[in-house]
Structure 1
Amino acid sequence: MARAQRNGRQPRREATVDGVPIRSLPKVSLHDHLDGGVRASTVFELATAAGLELPVDTSRALGEWFAEQSASDSLVDYLKTFELTVAVMQSADDLTRIAREFVADLANDGVVYGEVRWAPEQHQAGGLELEDAVQAVQDGIAQGEEAAEEAGRPIRVNQILSAMRSGTRSLEIARLALDFRDEGVVAFDLAGPEDGHPPADHAEALDLLAAEFFPVTLHAGEAAGLDSIRSALIDGRALRLGHGVRIAEDLEEVASEGDEVRVSFGDLARWVRDREIALELAPTSNLGTGAIARWGTSLEDHPFDLLYQLGFAVTVNTDNRLMSRTTLTRELARLVDAFEYDLDDLLEFQLNAAAAAFLPVEQREELIDIVTEGFER
């Protein structure tokens, strides 16, 4: 049953739930792109130093430009903004710096465990070998983790390597991920234009990963619909769905009486719900890319709450913090405001994410304890 909704308003600067600052709560981030989480000030500095053309004259204005360009209701237009961020991520030093800052920003947001995804094949314009690029990011992560520990904000971050689904290098990236499976890389992803580029196009890479028992999470159910999700599960053997919001298209309201809503499940939706396949939902991003256009144009229209009430393993993510001008704290605050969630609801979202993390079961259990104890405090 979906909960009653109220008119949305922007969260206060110090967002709280049940009187508790949301920023102080331990959080788990599963879907966060490295090239979508670069600080605007860093993009401005590196681009200026490299002589790259910028659309504005200040770093503050650049942050606003990213947000305006990304609120286009089109995933294709949304992805164009990455041309600038990727352009300043072509050296080992720059990758290390950006990864270090990425971890620091997560730690400052209360994240205790995160998985950062990025596509190494897009970072070779300066002559970097794939292996050197991955190592540079891992070095930055390690530096960020160490600094966060010293500051009293312990965090652990792992990498997810993405292959571009419109490209031809997925097998190469799959092998790269396997080479680094014990050195910080925990999963494989397909990113980029979703519609027209199904996982089946990358069968050789996905078959290799399955044979090696290596985890896969695929972008699906964002720009494309149920066929995209079906292919991610069948062809990709995905353990999680990147976004997956359009699984709600496989649900049909059959009766409504007062606050009670009866819903009929399609076979695909029932499989995803019953198998507890985590949905890596990113509310603000889903609005900006038009992923929820079928249901409306405001956060209150997002099927997040319906999926939650029906028992799907929903998780909350930022997707691209720069483009959406958001944080995990802000995403949770917006959901609290839209759907009147309380502390127990936010805990449920974090436990779903912790249970779906690409970690050994013992470490997932430890993460669950960290999150639970943090909420209890």
Structure 2
Amino acid sequence: MPAPLDADSIRRAPKVLLHDHLDGGLRPQTVLELADEAGYRDLPAGDAEALGRWFREAADSGSLVRYLETFAHTVGVMQRPEAVRRVARECALDLAADGVVYAEVRMAPELVTAGGTPIEEAVEAILDGFAQGSAEAAAAGTPITVGALLCAMRQADRWEEVAGLVVRYRDAGVVGFDLAGPEIGFPPDRHPEAIALLDRAGAHRTIHAGEAAGIDSIRAALDGARAERLGHGVRIADEVPADGPLGPVAQRVLDAQVPLEVAPSSNVQTGAYPSIAAHPVDRLHRLGFAVTVNTDNRLMSGVSVTSELTDVAAAHGWGWDDVQAVTERALAAAFADDAVRARLLTDVVRPGYAALRG
């Protein structure tokens, strides 16, 4: 007999996460403790439960100003290397405890340099934290592999510097480059020298596109930044009519099997769709797009990989075939070595789902 497709079973399933922001996944208690250590006095609540609730409500408010304020607080308490290291360590532990066996977690190192931390030291703190958390998780019997994605902020001018860090640290745990920040007004080819640097080094890149902006943003990410994956990418659905042919960009993304890092709860929070039931994640999945399911910001959305998959499965009638399919797609799209992907697929993912399917 297959296990019931519920939160308890999905938590036991081996999962793969491609789109998760380090500064969007802090534990509320950690925010409080880091604020206390740093003398940060601007938090809107003084206990972990109330603070966690404030983050979710602010992110749910429909106000972009309040949503962005949530990150002002998390980034505000991450201005010291030891704070970054702690947050990264806890991130690895929390994901491992949720049954994630491979994760790529992204952070813009430039955001944690305001207090004077050199950007290289910020990157090293992220990598040290992931390594420490992964080692502790393995010792606890929940092994996880965590790679870092380094984001450049679209509205800033440090793209080439961040691209250089991706290349410099790629043998130390950095797996790729990302562009984050406002899509509208800041095209992904604004600093072509950064993209050229990545091209010369053969470095991986995923680009935020098709979240706040539509098809033009997706086309620009593919053509201007040569994106291998689309961060969100869900607005490809704008060219996927209920009946009739796909639009040209949608057809291109489908044909090339460009992975979509879809984060349904986050999209509902930011007002892109009214509910998970109304979200196009299932329609895209059924049509054969390379859909993966992700958390985006676990603190702000109050989600885990388990809860996200559970909610999508419940809303769209998914079975174990669907959950395994999006997991294997995510693993295939990971910026890990071929040997790592093959080992996880053969030794972890497929046996894990076989056990759940009975």
**Is 1:375–2:353 an aligned residue pair?**
yes
Task: Report the secondary structure of 1:265's partner residue.
Answer: coil
Aligned equivalents of 1:215 and 1:74: distance in 2?
33
Residue 279 (str. 1) matches residue 260 (str. 2): yes
1:304 lines up with 2:269 in the alignment = no
Alpha-carbon distance in structure 1 between the residues aligned to 2:7 and 2:45: 40
Counterpart check, 1:319 vs 2:296: yes
CA distance in 1, matches of 2:191, 2:64: 21
Q: Residue 327 of structure 2 aligns to which amino acid in structure 1? A: Q
Give the TM-score normalised by the residue count of structure 2. Answer: 0.95
Distance in 1 (CA, whole Å) between partners of 2:240 and 2:298 is 30
Q: Which consecutive aligned stretches of 4+ in structure 1 deviate over 3 angstroms post-superposition? A: 72-77
Q: Is the 8 A contact 1:75 1:290 kept in 2?
A: no
**Could you tell me whether the CA contact under 8 Å between 1:277 and 1:313 is conserved in 2?**
yes
- Structure 2 residue 18 is matched with structure 1 residue 44: no
Helix, strand or coil at the partner of 2:242: strand
User: 1:19 Cα shift?
Assistant: 9.5
Quote how far apart the aligned CAs of 1:16 are: 4.8
Against the structure 1 CA distance between its residues 252 and 345, is the aligned structure 2 distance closer, same or farther, given a 3 Å change threshold?
same
- Contact 1:107–1:154 (Cα < 8 Å) also in 2: yes
Amino acid corresponding to residue 317 of structure 1 in structure 2: N
| Residue pairs, 1:103-182, within 5 angstroms | 103-182=92-171
Q: SS of the residue aligned with 1:161?
A: strand
Cα offset for 1:253?
2.5
Residue deviations 1:154-181, cap 9 Å, x none?
Answer: 1110100000001011111111111101
More helix per residue:
2
Residue 191 of structure 2: SS of its match in structure 1? helix
Q: Which of 20, 26, 43 does residue 14 from structure 2 map onto?
A: 26
Aligned mates of 2:61, 2:248 — CA distance in 1: 32
Q: TM-score, normalised by structure 1?
A: 0.90
- Structure 2: how far apart are the matches of 1:189 and 1:333? 27
- Cα shift at 1:44: 1.3
Output the CA distance in 2 between the equivalents of 1:16 and 1:48: 43
SS at match of 1:217: strand
Give, in angstroms, the shift of residue 78 of structure 1: 2.4
Q: Residue 319 of structure 1: SS of its match in structure 2?
A: coil
* Contact 1:299 1:338 survives alignment (8 Å): yes
1:65-106 deviation digits (Å, cap 9, x = unpaired)? 000111134556423310000011111111111110000000
Q: Residues 53 and 78 of structure 1: is their aligned pair in 2 closer, same or farther, counting only changes over 3 Å? A: closer
Alignment partners' CA distance in 2, 1:141 and 1:128: 19
The residue type paired with residue 269 of structure 2 is G
Residue aligning to 1:268: 249
Change (3 A) 1:44 1:20: closer
8 A Cα contact 1:35 1:82, kept in partner: yes
1:328 to 285, 290, 305: 305
Q: Distance in 2 between matches of 1:48 and 1:164?
A: 28
Structure-2 change in CA distance of 1:200 and 1:281 (3 Å): same
Q: Distance in 1 between matches of 2:80 and 2:4?
A: 40
The aligned counterpart of 2:228 is 239
Residue ranges of structure 1 left out of the alignment (5+ in a row):
1-14, 255-262
Partners of 2:111 and 2:83 lie apart in 1 by 14
Amino acid at match of 2:182: P
SS at match of 2:277: helix
Question: Which sits farther off after the overlay, 360-369 or 298-307?
Answer: 360-369
Partner Cα distance (2:63, 2:150) in 1: 24
Specify whether residues 19 and 84 from structure 1 end up closer, same or farther in structure 2 by C-alpha distance, changes over 3 A only. Answer: closer
Unaligned runs of 5+ in 2: none
Deviations 1:259-302 (A, max 9, x none): xxxx411110011111111000001001011233xxxx111110
Same amino acid, percent of matched pairs: 52
CA distance in 2, matches of 1:133, 1:249: 38
Q: CA deviation at 1:20?
A: 6.5
Indicate if the aligned counterparts of 2:7 and 2:307 stay in contact, CA closer than 8 A.
Answer: no
Does the CA-based 8 Å contact 1:90-1:123 persist in structure 2?
yes
SS at match of 1:89: coil
Provide, for residues 97-142 of structure 1, a one-character-per-residue CA deviation record: whole Å limited to 9, x for no partner. 1110000000000000000100000111221111111111111111
Amino acid at match of 1:270: Q
Q: How does 1:245-264 map to 2 (within 5 A)?
A: 245-254=234-243, 263-264=244-245
- Aligned position for 1:228: 217
Counterpart residue number, 2:57:
68
Counterpart secondary structure, 1:336 = helix
Q: Of residues 320, 323, 327 in structure 2, which corresponds to 1:350? A: 327
